Structure 1
Amino acid sequence: MILLLAVQQPGGPHSAREDRTRVPWSGPTTPPALPVATGAPSTRAPHPVVPPASRKGEHPAGTVCRGGRCQHSAADGGRRAVWQEVAVERRQRPASCRDRARYAFDRTLARSTGTLLGWLAVCCLAVVVPVSTLLVWTDPQAPRSLSERLVAVWRTSAETLRLGGITGAPLRMLLSVVLGLIALLCVSTLVGVVTTGLGDRLEELRRGRSTVLERGHAVVLGWSDQVFTVVGELVAAQSARSRGVVAVLADRDSTEMAAALHTALGATGGVRIVCRSGSPADPDALALLTPSAADSVLVMPSDDDNADLEVIRVLLALRALLGAQAGPPVVAAVRDERHLTAARLAAGPRGTVLETEATTARLLVQAARNPGLVAALRDLLDLAGAEFHVVDEPEAEGLEFGEIALRYASACPIGLLLPDGRALLTPAARTRCGPGDRLIVVAPDERPERAAAPDAHVDAGVMAPADAVPGQPARFLLLGWNSRAPLVTDLLSRTVRPGSVLDVVTGPRTAPDASRLVGRPGGGRLTATHRTGELTRPEQAAGLDLFRYDCVIVLGPDAEAVSFGPDDQTLLTLLTLRSCEEEAGRPLPVVAELSDHRSRALAPLGPRSAAVVRAELTALVMARISHAPALASLFEELFASRGGALALRPASRYVLPGREASFATVVVAALGRGECAIGYRAHAPHGTDRPGDVRLAPRKSERRVWSAGDEVLVVAPPDIPVVSPPDDERSSPGGRRTLPGMRGEERVGTDDSPASGPPLD
């Protein structure tokens, strides 16, 4: 028995909306009394119609509101009680026949497999038999007698169910049915076995646990944001093969890895990307990629805090699988310099280990000293267009480097690779190529084109005089602080000209670390100051007098030190700097460090700004070394803290402004200053502030009118003496920092020097 209580508010007509949606109460003001439970059963009374609630903000008819407070809480409580009782009644109403039938069917299916087969047979017969009967009875050629028609129905049903359809004695028909059921059971079992086997195989493939039986493929171990850059370069390198394969092993789902790589890289030009799941530090998982038959193996550091230790474990797993001396060349990278020696010991003699943090810091410093160098260096390291090559040229033996520089139509020699593996960059023009020496060139391909007449395009009359122009001290502004900031300040203090200034502005959180480091002596070359400020506030940025600096370096916080994205603060700072540029109408040289390559498209960079993606340069170098291991010593020279290497110089340093000259003339003029010209960048087009792209390895015969705003990309020796590094770093006799495997000193060729070999004592 259910007791329903309702309150009917007196008075007041309903609203028009209520009249359209509800049936108004037509009875008396007081609802009829409901029967009360007694000893005898009572008849259920119909539910009273409750006055409907009005729209939000309105009140039921007949209520009065005073003082902004509704005085009809009793009516609302009664209405809620009514609907609660209705809900209780609905839950207690008897189940319908449909619900009981569904429950009985579900309970029957849950009993056993035989019950399921029985229901399947009943359902099939319930459909096949009536349809067969209809087909027989509507057939004009069907037999007329009932018995013959029933036999026809049996035959049609049996053929449909593959039961044979044999007629005759009942025993004969029964045996036919049994035989058909046995055949159906065998076929079904076979289909089930095949389906299960295929499903297990597909599941194994989805998990990435099958062995890659390839030869000459590239192996990538680990996963990070830079895996897309590495795999993209490896795909470009493998495209020259008829069946190029790039195999990736990481502790992730193989289908997710494959989908991410194909989405990021798009069409791979016939090169297959194979992904396998497993820990790269497990030798059994490594064996899935058959690394012993690979051309190269690359070990990527992850984004975790223990990335370096994981790289060392992977290198040890490779050593355990392949041995210390055997196997393909291995290229790895670590973040912290403290783990560099251990990683190189684990990699063995065939391994090359790079340092991500230091390489990024060196690129930031080089870009700060040479605005526009980032894009040129990225073009040099990827496999599109001109890049570094090592060329075997037996005919160059005995020739002077000055003759070799003009020997090729579109290749630019920059040094020699000695037989012991050392790279000799920017040798003197009269240094001779010795036995076993190979050429290091910047060229579109590995087989550079010879020049028909090497000296025909050189015009000595338009060369600029070789007067030494002393460089000026520079001013730098460093915005932000992270773990690479000490490396940046240390490199600047050892490579800038005396009298240079570095102003550091950091937030309050990193101010103590920055002030302690800035307070250290800088060797007399660099004067560093520190102040605390909010980097994203335009008024504070305007008070820094930004346009008196030669370059502004923007660093983002470390990812583990903030709860938001590490590039978020960098993007806000760049947005503030960009607004200052637009207000002043002047371009501002800015070099920003980003952690995610996807943030580069979002960065509001000005016409003279560049973004350095952390670890992207290391990823490109790893891909180049895996393709050509002989280039390892070259990159050690380019990215050592030597103060020189790549630089953009004014074209007026080599040719007279406003005069027409060939690129061969620029090459000869650069050789006279101990530099190797490898390209140029034209000045900004008329009406724009953004300079053009760097043109690498142009033809020597190319002629153009050189303006004062043009720049020449050169590989140069250190323009100033480099301060000795701290005691914890290896030093070479020349005072420059020497990485393991890097040559100790340069060989400078003269008329009396030997053709090749180690430097004379």
Structure 2
Amino acid sequence: MIAGASNKFRFYLERFILRGAHYRLLFIAAMVGLVSIVGGYLALQATAEFGSYSESMWWAFLRLTDPGYLGDDKGTGLRVLSTIITVLGYVIFMGSLIAIMTQWLNNTIRVLELGTTPIVQKGHVVILGWTNRTPIIVRELVRSEERLKRFLVKQGARKLRIVILAEEVNVQLRQDLQETLAEEWDERQIILRSGNPLKNEDLLRVAFLNAAAIIFPGMNFLEGGADAGDMRTVKALLSMQAFAEKGHNLPFLVTEIFDARKVVVARSAYSGRIEVIPSDSTISLLLAQNIRHQSLSHVFNELLTYGDGNELRIRHLSQFAGMTFEETFAAFPKAVPLGVLRPSNRGLDPHLNPPVGFVIREGDFLVLLARSHNDTAPSKRYDRVAQKRGHFVQFKHEKKHRRLLILGWSGMIPALVHELASYQDEKFEVDILSRVPEEEREDKLQKYSTAGQRVKLRHLIGDYGAPSDLEEVSPDMYDNILILGSDYFLTKEEVDARTILGLMLVRELLKGVTYKPDILVELVDPGNHSLFSRVSEEVIVSPMILSHMLAHIAMRPELNTVFQELFSSGGAEIYFRPMHEYGLAGKTMSFADIQDSVSARGEIALGVKVTAREKALGAEIELNPDKTASWSLTKDDEVVVLTTYV
């Protein structure tokens, strides 16, 4: 019975204390009062110095709270009692009070660090979710000063403010941002808030309705894979849509959907202006183009990365209305016109590498390749002489049949196979080495699309991390080897560790081989990109590319139309063409001369790739070089062109 009463007392005491700092202070106050009452009673009984019980309680309270009174007492009994009460004061009053206040302050600071306070901002950029794309998106936004100034002016904001909604804000997130931004880190510019984009109260915490733009990157390391990530995205869009049904205007949003077949679902879930990037099909197309054209990844990296050379830029220049596209070239000495975006009932229609005689209309946007916004300003004086532009001459593929070995299984393989099958006059033999059962692979391929006759698939069961399994497939017998980051692991570190292991094994097996296949590696951790700065293999860091696209489109939504045109099958594509196809091999030519020769074939020259320089400097490709720069060209040199795939 006594034990039961004791447990009951301890239980209720525990519940009382855990209610918070205020209740703990009340408990300490009660203990101080109790000691004062008991100590006052004992003092009254031990000496005749006190005239009343209240006087002795006050004496006990003073000893309990202030040890300075200890020397004023007389008599052994009173001094002993005073000493005991003073020691209890150290423990109960001072010690407990300091502990409670310290804990309260720590908890308060922790709550503030978590970022649960709603922000009061307008015209800011909201990033929903913390993924391997988030730090790169932030860096891209911070670095894009020119575009941001014009973007913020349109939104009525003076300074860039980036608000990130993460599941849980902690020191590690801040550290990751600081390492990514380095000297560009500014505590006042970036605000972190804890929350889930699926919850309305968390969306309000970042003032999403007042945002200039919302960026919603995909989360590909969820249990359930890409399907789970897409479901999460659509649910969040529906959560935001609920505010539109209450009469609120939804801000512009750019998001990522893994499965291109679900893009229409994402668009229908959000009534505000929205741009959707189908990541799997986008990366699959980049992989397919890199398989067909070695070194193309360097071009894509430059076009999509701010501050690393040239970018795709869009200008509305009404003075060119009524002129033909070829007449615009002379107006841009530091930029390369690529085409036009034309408004229509569907939005914007891309006309990249337009045909000869294409006339620019009022309201059209020019698409240009340039290093800065200032470089896209047309010259005040220029000769209005049309660049000689011929009709398009269909590209003759040097290699119409390829053998491709894919190491590992990823959810984007069905999209990659679909992309390879779209090239009408090319055939591919694709062998896939993976531990994933053949039935599971075939099920995903069939749900996406059939490969058709142009892609012959063969499933190989094995572990490319095992030297014996890899050696059995004879990697040297293929034209191309693609090492994919598997989405069967739950962390980017595990994925890239396995990818790098596979690459090292392939290198060992290809030692001493005369003809070595072209190797393309996909990484999912941007931090590992530096490991491949001086290697012969090509590398695509898919989160980095998608992050750049998300950031660019958030600042300039029209760019999504350009990306969709460039990164989709058919239409305008970027190629490497041998110089001898234009009759330039063996000649010394300036870039302006190369542009004229390429234009005569109905294409647009973007830059050059000179073999001798590549060997010396490591595959350096010059996009949009100075028009007067010249080279002594050989048959091995190539020109980077924008052409039309038919």
Taking structure 1 as the reference length, what is the TM-score of the superposition?
A: 0.64
What letter matches 1:526 in structure 2? V
In structure 1, what is the equivalent of residue 199 of structure 2?
A: 282
In structure 2, what is the equivalent of residue 701 of structure 1?
A: 628
Q: Which has the higher helix share?
A: 2
Give the whole-Å Cα distance in 2 for the aligned partners of 1:427 and 1:567.
Answer: 41
Pair 1:336-2:259 in alignment:
yes
| Cα drift, residue 687 of structure 1 | 6.0
In structure 2, what is the equivalent of residue 214 of structure 1?
A: 121
In structure 1, what is the equivalent of residue 19 of structure 2?
A: none
From the superposition, tell whether residues 563 and 433 of structure 1 become closer, same or farther in structure 2 (CA, over 3 Å): closer
| Cα drift, residue 442 of structure 1 | 1.0
In structure 2, what is the equivalent of residue 68 of structure 1?
A: none
What letter matches 1:653 in structure 2? E
From the superposition, tell whether residues 655 and 287 of structure 1 become closer, same or farther in structure 2 (CA, over 3 Å): farther
558, 577, 581: which one pairs with 1:649?
577
From the superposition, tell whether residues 533 and 301 of structure 1 become closer, same or farther in structure 2 (CA, over 3 Å): closer
Give the whole-Å Cα distance in 1 for the aligned partners of 2:588 and 2:68.
Answer: 91
128, 153, 160: which one pairs with 1:244?
160
Q: Is the 8 A contact 2:329 2:387 kept in 1?
A: no
| Cα drift, residue 404 of structure 1 | 1.2
From the superposition, tell whether residues 586 and 382 of structure 1 become closer, same or farther in structure 2 (CA, over 3 Å): same
Give the whole-Å Cα distance in 2 for the aligned partners of 1:281 and 1:440.
Answer: 37
- 513-522 or 676-685: which moved more? 513-522
From the superposition, tell whether residues 539 and 604 of structure 1 become closer, same or farther in structure 2 (CA, over 3 Å): farther
From the superposition, tell whether residues 439 and 301 of structure 1 become closer, same or farther in structure 2 (CA, over 3 Å): same
Pairing 1:218-617 to 2, within 5 Å after superposition: 218-237=125-144, 241=149, 243-253=159-169, 255-268=171-184, 270=186, 272-302=189-219, 303-304=221-222, 305=224, 306-321=228-243, 326-384=249-307, 385-420=309-344, 421-447=348-374, 448-450=376-378, 469=396, 471-475=398-402, 476-495=404-423, 497-498=425-426, 500-514=427-441, 522-538=451-467, 541-542=470-471, 544-560=473-489, 565-584=494-513, 588-602=517-531, 606-607=535-536, 609-617=537-545
The alignment partner of 2:312 has SS state of strand
| Cα drift, residue 274 of structure 1 | 0.5
1:296-325 Cα deviation digits (max 9, x unpaired): 111122232322222122222322335688
| Cα drift, residue 588 of structure 1 | 3.7
From the superposition, tell whether residues 526 and 563 of structure 1 become closer, same or farther in structure 2 (CA, over 3 Å): closer
The alignment partner of 1:347 has SS state of coil
What letter matches 1:281 in structure 2? L
Equivalent residues, number: 547
The alignment partner of 2:552 has SS state of helix
Alignment RMSD, CA only?
A: 4.0
The alignment partner of 2:576 has SS state of strand
What letter matches 2:508 in structure 1? S
Give the whole-Å Cα distance in 2 for the aligned partners of 1:200 and 1:387.
Answer: 47
Give the whole-Å Cα distance in 2 for the aligned partners of 1:562 and 1:699.
Answer: 44
Give the whole-Å Cα distance in 2 for the aligned partners of 1:614 and 1:422.
Answer: 27
1:24-45 Cα deviation digits (max 9, x unpaired): xxxxxxxxxxxxxxxxxxxxxx
The alignment partner of 2:331 has SS state of coil
- 238-247 or 218-227: which moved more? 238-247
1:614-656 Cα deviation digits (max 9, x unpaired): 3432222111110101112111111212275122222333351
| Cα drift, residue 481 of structure 1 | 2.2
Q: Is the 8 A contact 1:471 1:497 kept in 2?
A: no
What letter matches 1:436 in structure 2? G
Give the whole-Å Cα distance in 1 for the aligned partners of 2:179 and 2:273.
Answer: 33
The alignment partner of 2:269 has SS state of helix
557, 564, 581: which one pairs with 1:629?
557
| Cα drift, residue 346 of structure 1 | 1.5
Pair 1:663-2:591 in alignment:
yes
Give the whole-Å Cα distance in 2 for the aligned partners of 1:217 and 1:708.
Answer: 52
The alignment partner of 1:419 has SS state of strand
1:48-85 Cα deviation digits (max 9, x unpaired): xxxxxxxxxxxxxxxxxxxxxxxxxxxxxxxxxxxxxx
What letter matches 2:332 in structure 1? Y
| Cα drift, residue 412 of structure 1 | 0.8
The alignment partner of 1:577 has SS state of helix
Q: Is the 8 A contact 1:418 1:438 kept in 2?
A: yes
From the superposition, tell whether residues 413 and 571 of structure 1 become closer, same or farther in structure 2 (CA, over 3 Å): same
| Cα drift, residue 537 of structure 1 | 4.3
1:228-279 Cα deviation digits (max 9, x unpaired): 1211112223585563211101221255433332233222265711001122
In structure 2, what is the equivalent of residue 123 of structure 1?
A: 67
The alignment partner of 1:572 has SS state of helix
1:119-171 Cα deviation digits (max 9, x unpaired): 665534569x9xxxxxxxxxxxxxxxxxxxxxxxxxxxxxxxxxxxxxxxxxx
Give the whole-Å Cα distance in 1 for the aligned partners of 2:592 and 2:291.
Answer: 29
Q: Is the 8 A contact 2:406 2:482 kept in 1?
A: yes
Pairing 1:669-748 to 2, within 5 Å after superposition: 669-685=597-613, 691-718=618-645, 720=646
1:670-691 Cα deviation digits (max 9, x unpaired): 2222322222233254865x74
| Cα drift, residue 488 of structure 1 | 1.4
| Cα drift, residue 409 of structure 1 | 0.8
The answer for unaligned runs of 5 or more in structure 2 is 1-27, 37-60, 73-92, 150-157
Q: Is the 8 A contact 1:575 1:604 kept in 2?
A: no
Give the whole-Å Cα distance in 1 for the aligned partners of 2:491 and 2:169.
Answer: 28
Q: Is the 8 A contact 1:219 1:296 kept in 2?
A: yes
What letter matches 1:310 in structure 2? R
The alignment partner of 2:453 has SS state of coil
1:482-528 Cα deviation digits (max 9, x unpaired): 32222212211221634x33231423543344578899975433334
Taking structure 2 as the reference length, what is the TM-score of the superposition?
A: 0.74
Which structure has the larger Rg over C-alpha atoms? 1
Give the whole-Å Cα distance in 2 for the aligned partners of 1:563 and 1:416.
Answer: 39
What letter matches 2:327 in structure 1? E
Give the whole-Å Cα distance in 1 for the aligned partners of 2:573 and 2:566.
Answer: 5
What letter matches 1:343 in structure 2? A
Q: Is the 8 A contact 1:478 1:502 kept in 2?
A: no
Give the whole-Å Cα distance in 1 for the aligned partners of 2:353 and 2:144.
Answer: 28
The alignment partner of 2:499 has SS state of helix
Give the whole-Å Cα distance in 1 for the aligned partners of 2:358 and 2:100.
Answer: 75
Q: Is the 8 A contact 2:479 2:518 kept in 1?
A: yes
Give the whole-Å Cα distance in 2 for the aligned partners of 1:640 and 1:646.
Answer: 11
The alignment partner of 1:504 has SS state of strand
Give the whole-Å Cα distance in 2 for the aligned partners of 1:364 and 1:671.
Answer: 27
Give the whole-Å Cα distance in 2 for the aligned partners of 1:628 and 1:508.
Answer: 42
Give the whole-Å Cα distance in 2 for the aligned partners of 1:486 and 1:358.
Answer: 9
Give the whole-Å Cα distance in 1 for the aligned partners of 2:267 and 2:623.
Answer: 33
Give the whole-Å Cα distance in 2 for the aligned partners of 1:308 and 1:387.
Answer: 29
- 310-319 or 450-459: which moved more? 450-459
From the superposition, tell whether residues 485 and 391 of structure 1 become closer, same or farther in structure 2 (CA, over 3 Å): same
| Cα drift, residue 417 of structure 1 | 0.8
Give the whole-Å Cα distance in 2 for the aligned partners of 1:369 and 1:561.
Answer: 31
The answer for unaligned runs of 5 or more in structure 1 is 1-108, 130-184, 721-761
Q: Is the 8 A contact 1:258 1:273 kept in 2?
A: no
- 673-682 or 232-241: which moved more? 232-241
Give the whole-Å Cα distance in 1 for the aligned partners of 2:478 and 2:633.
Answer: 28
What letter matches 2:455 in structure 1? L
Q: Is the 8 A contact 1:681 1:691 kept in 2?
A: no
- 561-570 or 201-210: which moved more? 561-570
From the superposition, tell whether residues 120 and 335 of structure 1 become closer, same or farther in structure 2 (CA, over 3 Å): farther
From the superposition, tell whether residues 293 and 378 of structure 1 become closer, same or farther in structure 2 (CA, over 3 Å): same
- 374-383 or 206-215: which moved more? 206-215
In structure 2, what is the equivalent of residue 33 of structure 1?
A: none
What letter matches 2:238 in structure 1? L
* Percentage identity across paired residues of the two chains: 23
